[in-house]
Structure formats: structure tokens, C-alpha cells
Amino acid sequence: MALVTSTEMFKKAYEGGYAIGAFNVNNMEIIQGITEAAKEEQAPLILQVSSGARKYANHTYLMKLIEAAVIETDLPICVHLDHGDTFELCKSCIDGGFTSVMIDGSHHSFEDNIALTRQVVEYAHDHGVVVEGELGRLEGVEDDVNVSAEDASYTNPEQVQEFVERTGVDSLAIAIGTSHGAYKFKPGTKPQLRFDILEEVEKRLPGFPIVLHGASSVMPEFVDMINKYGGSMPDAIGVPEDMLRRAASMAVCKINIDSDLRLAMTGTIRRYFAENPSHFDPRQYLKPARAAIKEMVRHKLIHVLGCNGKA
Ligand code: G3H
Ligand code: 13P
Ligand code: ZN
């Protein structure tokens, strides 16, 4: 099996009423934890790399680790640029072997977003690579850019058809109330997503794959672990799993998860050091962290995404 684009994955996911997990990767243990779970559950996968991840770990290292995962798992794996913000960054990832890129022009005007996205689509399609665009803006932190609640905005369903037609994108990220990071909803309030917007988008773009960013559940077991072992994240709240399952049964074919990976890894390492204060071999604490990622991802594949057995 070689690296694949997401085209076939999304077609089957749309028809089957499930979603593909798009997990952010930054190092070997994260890649191993995710892909070991996917192999055991026979799930198709998207491994996504942000520009921050690329700066941290280097394009070639990440690419080679993902290629190793393809050999080890024999699974269909798509390697995707998360939140590309310039044509040059997208081009560099396409030239460097990625099979999918996101061009996130959501902070530009509608016309500028279309022009930038169209430019990336033309180059990507000429090279057999697929493109995710974004309309509407999520609140939260990406690559050190903090979008405040006032600057965030829901996707306007009236714009989606024109955006897809004029850009030629292969999938579309929309804003329906999720946000990046671990603090998604106000403490004491009931988390809510605008499923009415998703329904309206689905009606206007029948059969077209929609992407949900900011879709970590901020799993309480890991937040509790962090708080128990010296950390402080009392107000961390994520997207409830039943809402993600509902989105996956609708037009959402790709669900982005990063924060839950970070929390699983950090909580497990904090616990390890609390229980083994004299240890200093990184393999000793990275091993349980990798195992925690694997079990957390297995849970998502089966109980949230529904993509187990679909490889
Ligand atoms: O949407 C943002 C992702 O969680 C990636 O985060 O830019 O810090 O790597 P990062
Ligand atoms: P979370 O912060 O909810 O994991 O979202 C990740 C994401 O959308 C990456 O693009
Ligand atoms: Zn995102």
C-alpha cells in the first residue's frame, strides 16, 4: 500500500455515515500510537501535519515516519497539511510528497479566500493532490495565532456552493461552533453546535465531504489525570462525543483531533513521573504515553468516528 489521497475514503465515509479521523502528528511516538490502533482496528487514516509540526520535527523526518507507518500497517494513509496559510507552504508540501493540503483562507475576505484557494487547487490537482478549503472562522489557537470569540464566525451556508464551484476544492471545513484547543465552551454552559448550519450546507452540497476542525472531546479522564498530578486545567471542556457521532452520520467525513492526543500524552507522562520520580530514561515514560495514545485513538475509531473495519 502507498500513501493515498482522501478521495476514496471520503466517498465511502459519506455513503456509510461515518467519518475518517484526521490526527495531528509531531513525533514518532504519536505516529506509532495512532497507526498501531488503526492497524488493529483496520481503519483508514489521515495523518495531518501543521506548519508548527513541520517546523518542530522537519518535513523529511515526518514524511519518513509516515512512510514507515504505511509499510508497518499496510493501511490506506493520507498525509495532509493542516491549516496551510500560503500558496508557497502548500506547494512545498505538495512537492514534498503530501497527498492532501488544506489552504486556510478563512481569515481573508470571501473573494481573496477564493483566489488563494483556487491557486492552490490548480497546482495541487496538476500534481494529483487534493485540497481542503475553509469558510467561516473557528475560535481558538492555531500555530500561535489566537482567534478571539468576537473574531470567530459561523459559516454562511449561502456562500458554500459558490465557494466550492469557483475554487474546485475537494472538501470544505466549516465553522459550526467548535474551536481549537482545550477550552471550547464556557464552564457551566451546555456545549452546543449549529447542526442547522451543517444541515443547510449538506442540502446545498449533496454528496460533498465536509470537515470538522476543533473536534477533540477534551477527554475528562486525561484532564483529571493532569489536574491530579500537578497540572492545572480546571475549565477544559471539549465537544461531547454524541455530537461528533451525529456530525459523522451527516456530511462530515473528516474529524480533526489534536488536543486529545496532547492531553493523553501529557497526562500519562505526568502520572509516570509522579509515580517514578527517579526515572530519567525517555523510553520509560514515552512507552506508556504511546500506549495511552493508542487506546484513546482506538476508542475514537470505534465509538466516535465509526471507521473501524473500513480500511
Ligand atoms: O489546529 C491546530 C492544530 O491543533 C495544530 O496545532 O499549529 O500548534 O501544531 P499547532
Ligand atoms: P482540537 O484542538 O480540537 O484537537 O482540533 C484540532 C484541529 O482542528 C486541527 O486542525
Ligand atoms: Zn484545525
Has 82 been annotated as catalytic?
yes
**Grid cell digits, residue 98:** 503530501
Q: Which residues line ligand 2 (CB under 6 A)?
A: 24, 82-83, 180-181, 213-216, 256-259
Q: How far apart are alpha carbons 44 and 32 in whole angstroms? A: 15
Q: Which of 173, 176, 144, 183 is nearest to 81 (CA)?
A: 173
311 occurs within a structural domain: no
SS3 127: coil
Describe the crossing of helices 259-275 and 282-299 by its angle, rounded to 10 degrees: 140
pLDDT of residue 149: 61
Considering every ligand atom shown, identify the ligand nearest to the alpha carbon of residue 256 and give its number. 2
Among the listed residues 74, 82, 242, 260, the single catalytic one is 82
**Grid cell digits, residue 95:** 512537492
Q: Which domain holds residue 28?
A: 7-305
Residues 44 and 76 sit within 8 Å (Cβ to Cβ): yes
Tell me the residue type at 208: F
Least confident of 139-153, 177-191, 224-238, 241-255: 139-153
pLDDT of residue 35: 98
214 occurs within a structural domain: yes
Q: Is the pLDDT assigned to residue 170 strictly greater than 70?
A: yes
Q: Is the pLDDT assigned to residue 167 strictly greater than 80?
A: yes
310 occurs within a structural domain: no
Give the ranges where the chain is alpha helix by DSSP (H): 7-16, 28-41, 51-57, 59-73, 87-95, 110-126, 157-167, 195-204, 220-228, 241-249, 259-275, 282-299
CATH number at residue 176: 3.20.20.70
Counted residue by residue, the chain has a size of 311
How many domains, the chain?
A: 1
231 occurs within a structural domain: yes
1 occurs within a structural domain: no
Q: How far apart are alpha carbons 277 and 283 in whole angstroms? A: 15
2 occurs within a structural domain: no
Residue-wise pLDDT for 78-98, tens only, equals 999 999 999 999 999 999 999
Q: Which of 143, 179, 171, 181 is nearest to 54 (CA)?
A: 143
CA of 235 to the centre of ligand 1 (A): 20
- Give ∠ CA 295-268-32 in degrees, rounded to 5: 45
pLDDT of residue 138: 86
Tell me which residue has its CA closest to atom 6 in ligand 1: 142
Residues 213 and 220 sit within 8 Å (Cβ to Cβ): no
SS3 305: helix
